[in-house]
């Protein structure tokens, strides 16, 4: 599973990255987490408001920092798809 955090480095983006890393670790999820800070790359996903959470190349959440439960739900939802 490939998870990308879209954001230019603002506090919300860093928080989403931290929460996502914690969710993956706490639930023993095999995932590669990377950060996309290039605004051109971010725009390719159609995300106009950061932070964004991309799972297996699909935008799961954008424009806000979700709860850990919501991140976990999104990962599970995209795990098989």
- CB-based contact 51:7 (threshold 8 Å): yes
Rounded CA-CA distance 2/30 in Å is: 9
Do 68 and 53 meet the contact criterion of CB atoms below 8 Å apart?
A: no
8-51 pLDDT tens trace: 989 999 999 999 999 999 999 999 999 999 999 999 999 989 99
The Cα 42–Cα 7 span in angstroms is 7
Residue with tokens 């990962």: 75
Domains delineated in the chain: 2-79 (3.40.30.10)
| Band (55; pLDDT cuts 50, 70, 90) | very high
Output the pLDDT for position 80: 67
Which residues carry out catalysis? 10, 13
């Amino acid at each position: 599973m490939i998870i990308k955090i879209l954001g230019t480095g603002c506090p919300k983006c860093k928080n989403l990255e931290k929460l996502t890393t914690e969710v993956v670790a706490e639930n023993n999820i095999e995932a590669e987490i990377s950060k996309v800070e290039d605004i051109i790359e971010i725009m390719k996903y159609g995300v106009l408001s950061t932070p964004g959470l991309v799972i297996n190349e699909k935008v799961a959440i954008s424009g806000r920092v979700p709860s850990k439960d919501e991140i976990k739900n999104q990962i599970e939802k995209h795990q098989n798809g």
